[in-house]
């Protein structure tokens, strides 16, 4: 599997179907996320994008009544294999959520180190790790003189970049991002988009977004999800971002990316 240097990994989903109780919400999703590329997942609300994202690091199995069929492979190894430790999987495949969720009682520095401490991993040089993680998340210069301040003293955009830094401290191979800019102002959004593009040099990134311009700005490839009342969500079209937006094959893709529904 991956080496300790943080080399990006290839992630793939094979025939992923998802249920909540008796209700099927995804059917037969097959996608490949190449190393060092950004993949955007787009589509209307309720079509299963965020649910699918949670299957990619076993967050899905934390939801009561959730069921899953298919395989998710990290460099060819099934992350759902009984021999795989779920905590280890979530370290290798990190996640940033829609709303910033720093630990409110912890300082900025403590937030960065929290994942390592909770997982029992050894920290050889805490100060260096904190600085490196904050630099990679493009927030070091803003917080370097206030590392002891409470995380909630930061603005919303800064909190989200802190959460990205917290994930980066775990040295993930893949980073999943569920609408990371949806609650942010344009300036914060731009900084996070720049961070995403910089991070893709060292990891594989999958981002759910409702912002079509954002998908075009940050991603190399795009998957368009769709569902209707009688059909579970699935992938209508998948390809290079340029093709999906400018030369879509399916007319439903064309309608969505041009704002005719959704």
Nearest 5°: phi and psi at 77? -105, 130
pLDDT tier at 6, thresholds 50, 70, 90: low
Mean pLDDT for the stretch of residues 232-256: 97
Measure the CA angle with vertex 181, ends 238 and 106; round to 5°: 130
Residue among 76, 47, 22 at smallest CA distance from 208: 47
Walk me through the domains of the chain, giving residue ranges and CATH numbers: 11-257 (3.40.50.300)
Across the range 183-195, mean pLDDT stands at 94
Helix (H, G, I), strand (E, B) or coil at 126: helix
Region of poorest pLDDT, from 4-13, 44-53, 212-221, 248-257: 4-13
Render pLDDT for 201-217 as a digit per residue (tens, 0 to 9): 999 999 999 999 999 99
pLDDT in tens, 84-130: 999 999 999 999 999 999 999 999 999 999 988 888 888 889 999 99
* Burial class of residue 185 in the structure, from the number of CB atoms within 10 Å of its CB (0-12 exposed, 13-18 middle, 19+ buried): exposed
Average pLDDT over residues 158-163: 96
41, 239, 241, 254 from 245: Cα distances, Å: 13, 10, 6, 7
Residue-wise pLDDT for 32-54, tens only, equals: 999 999 999 999 999 999 999 99
Q: What single-letter DSSP state applies at residue 97? A: -
Contact assessment for residue 95 and residue 167, using Cβ atoms and an 8 Å cutoff: yes
Long-range contacts at 83-90 (CB < 8 A, ≥ 24 apart): 86/58, 86/61, 87/119, 89/57, 89/58, 90/57, 90/58, 90/59
The owner of tokens 């909190």 is: 159
């Amino acid at each position: 599997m991956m080496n300790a240097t943080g080399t990006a990994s290839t992630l793939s989903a094979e025939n992923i179907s998802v249920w909540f109780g008796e209700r099927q919400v995804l059917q037969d999703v097959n996608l490949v996320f190449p190393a060092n590329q950004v993949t955007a997942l787009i589509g209307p609300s309720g079509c299963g994008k965020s649910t699918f994202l949670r299957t990619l690091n076993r967050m899905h199995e934390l939801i009561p009544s959730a069921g899953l069929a298919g395989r998710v492979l990290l460099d060819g190894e099934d992350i759902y294999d009984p021999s795989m430790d779920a905590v280890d999987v979530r370290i290798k495949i990190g996640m940033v959520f829609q709303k910033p969720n720093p630990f409110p009682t912890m300082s900025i520095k403590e937030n960065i180190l929290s994942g390592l401490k909770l997982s029992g991993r050894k920290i050889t040089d805490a100060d260096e790790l904190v600085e490196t993680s904050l630099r990679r998340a493009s927030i070091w210069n803003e917080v370097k003189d206030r590392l002891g301040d409470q995380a909630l003293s930061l603005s919303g955009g800064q909190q989200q970049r802190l959460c990205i830094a917290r994930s980066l401290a775990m040295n993930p191979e893949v980073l999943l991002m569920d609408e990371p800019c949806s609650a942010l102002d344009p300036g914060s959004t731009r900084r996070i988009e720049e961070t995403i593009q910089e991070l893709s040099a060292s990891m594989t990134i999958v981002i759910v977004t409702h912002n079509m311009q954002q998908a075009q700005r940050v991603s190399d490839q795009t998957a368009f999800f769709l569902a209707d009342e009688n059909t579970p969500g699935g992938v209508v079209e998948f390809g290079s971002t340029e093709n999906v937006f400018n030369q879509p094959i399916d007319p439903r893709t064309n309608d969505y990316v041009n704002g005719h529904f959704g």
